[in-house]
Structure 1
Amino acid sequence: MDQLLSVKMDKSSEVIDHRIHDLSSQKQSGLAWVKDHVEQINHWVNSDGFALLRGLNIVSSNQFSTILETIFGEPLSQYVYRSSPRTAMRNNIYTTTEYHADQVILQHNENAYSNRWPMRMGFFCVVPAKTGGDTPLADSRVVYQNIPESIRDKFERLGVMYVRNYGEIDLPWQEVFQTQSKVEVEAYCKENDIEFEWQGDRLQTRQHRPAVATHPQTGEKVWFNQAHLFHSSSIDGQMPDLMRASIGEQRLPRNAYYGDGSPIADEDIQVINQVYKDATFSYQWQRNDILLLDNMLYTHGRQAYSGVRKVLVGMAKIVS
């Protein structure tokens, strides 16, 4: 029987120790233990939406890749149509977003801005930060339920339009689409219902997506979009106003509108961010931790941190 650690939610006394599994007493290698317990591990994730495996003996990113493929039952997916900088390792393992250590990454479901996203994600802590650097989680069902109806209903009715301008401030299109070919970019956009416009070598895309999704297994509604991340008000300080003045609204690196093109009020984004904040909890990373997520049921983010931090990620079970 696995030993279980008691961990408390931030700002809450609710014990959720059944989701963190201390396997440090296992004599098998990490991979051998996983192979013998695949069904149990998937039951944990299916039941709870996530599971933290602690204390497994893992020696490399290649072994982590094999562990994820064993659990997920298929090869890991390549990360195309990216929204943030990261480094590709072998076997479709990636570093987590490489923003500066003092930046907080807001809660989000991976690729919720796209019409293709992974149902399963796995994170591997190679080196925990000296301070901070946790990967907070939030239940997307709780977020959906707690957003005021007046805001939620409008999003649910109209959806979200994501606008991106690549290259000058945002990632270059070559990195986002993982190609140097405009023809391949256009083919990807057409296949994935992304509107595109070239202005010389500059690319702008627009994509319309629902703001709410229904989980295919549980049938529950989840808040499943990145409007709060793409919205220009998410840029720090006075930068949105300065950028609008210098390059214009249409050239902002990214922005989010309602699906009909009408603007989303800054105040509504602030409300959504507060709902996420209230629903968020986290675990302090330990070396060799593996965090497995149902990407529709739970969001993830990143705390600011100090020192060296290295967390890897792999994704699988792509749906649309």
Structure 2
Amino acid sequence: MEDSISQSQAQKKLQRAKRRSFNPQQQDWVKTSFLNTDSSLPLVVSPAMDGVNLTSWASQQRSWIESSLYQYGGLLFRGFRIDSTDDFVQFIQATSQGELLEYIYRSTPRTQLQDKVYTSTEYPADQFISMHNENAYSTSWPMKIWFCCLQPALQGGETLVADSRKVFQRIDPAVRQKFAEKKVMYIRNYGDIDLSWQEVFQTNDRSDVEAYCRQAGIEFEWNGEKLRTSQVCQAIASHPKTGDQVWFNVAHIFHISNFAEDIQKSLLSVFQPEDMPRHACYGDRQPMEVSTLNEIRAAYQAETIAIKWQKGDILMLDNMLVAHGRKPFTGARQVVVGMAEPYS
């Protein structure tokens, strides 16, 4: 009888211990650190003990996660057992307001893996992806973006991040003023060597494209089956929660000077600037100075931090506060992406 009582008491103690260990409301369940001693981007959040369920914990700590995201710009959740896109989606839902966003008005090729979860940009592995804020070539964008590494590359493939507030501060005030006043015009010609309009707008119906453009304030013109669009967008933006001024455009990517010299010469031998697959100029259609664009690229480079992926990592970024890019890589690499919280 004594052995039976003892065993019963032990089981109850064990159950109580398990309940305590999985209490998601205890913030001391996680610990924080930084990847680099000279930078606070990103804040690394990792389990302080075995068995922490990241989604359960996050669902009870949304206020802390939100305030930390505004402070640091990006959070890297590392060491938790994230093994699938289902785990990833559950975490996004626990840390966002509203549903995941569909990737429409695309600028890069991607594959949808499940409802509103996509592969990261499917550029060739040997290509560098320049620093950018998602959908900064538009007047509406996701406030939050999440990346999850299901398989790190054999070599390289680091995701690059840069604080858009610090990039803004590095750019000459005269340049900032000019961009703020003139803004940026993005001109796109679809289908020659870039994405087709069918892929960009995710439809085969021209009337759907026209309706989207009218609603978004995008000018459009058809030449047979070919489509050209143009839109004047912000160059600088104020974060709606923090009030921070951020550099928020991708003129340095859309402009031809982003290509290597041999590619520039090849494109210019075929296209006029406004006939390029992509082109950026000031909002009054005046050309941008290459020296200015190079200064902007240098500002990004000075603030860039490389995040070497580990399997199961989730990187959560405030899309206005932090820009991102990618290093070339070798071997298989699987990083999936979700976006939420649209803002105009």
Q: Secondary structure at the match of 2:307?
A: coil
CA distance in 1, matches of 2:274, 2:236: 26
Which of 100, 114, 124 aligns to 1:100? It is: 124
Q: TM-score, normalised to structure 1's length?
A: 0.94
Which of 186, 200, 206 aligns to 1:162? It is: 186
Q: Secondary structure at the match of 1:4?
A: strand
Alpha-carbon contact 2:152-2:309 (below 8 Å) kept: yes
1:32 paired to 2:60: no
> Where in structure 1 are there 5+ consecutive unaligned residues?
none
Partner of 1:118: 142
Partner of 2:261: 237
1:3 paired to 2:3: no
CA distance in 2, matches of 1:6, 1:112: 27
1:300 paired to 2:327: no
Alpha-carbon contact 2:203-2:209 (below 8 Å) kept: yes
1:218 paired to 2:239: no
> Where in structure 2 are there 5+ consecutive unaligned residues?
1-27
Matches within 5 A, 1:204-283: 204-283=228-307
1:5-54: per-residue Cα shift (whole Å, max 9, x none)?
A: 4421xxxx515388101227341433333334333322321332111100
Deviates more, 1:286-295 or 1:235-244: 235-244
Alpha-carbon contact 1:29-1:58 (below 8 Å) kept: no
Alpha-carbon contact 1:65-1:91 (below 8 Å) kept: no
CA distance in 1, matches of 2:245, 2:55: 35
CA distance in 1, matches of 2:276, 2:48: 48
CA distance in 2, matches of 1:152, 1:35: 39
Instruction: Please report how far the alpha carbon of residue 306 of structure 1 lies from its aligned counterpart in structure 2 after TM superposition.
Output: 1.3
Question: Where does structure 1 differ by over 4 angstroms across 4 or more consecutive aligned residues?
Answer: none
Partner of 1:137: 161
1:280-316: per-residue Cα shift (whole Å, max 9, x none)?
A: 1122111110111111111011111111111111011
Alpha-carbon contact 1:95-1:312 (below 8 Å) kept: yes
CA distance in 2, matches of 1:15, 1:82: 32
Larger radius of gyration: 2
Decide whether aligned partners of structure 1 residues 151 and 43 sit closer, same or farther in structure 2, where only a CA change above 3 A counts.
closer
Alpha-carbon contact 1:161-1:209 (below 8 Å) kept: yes
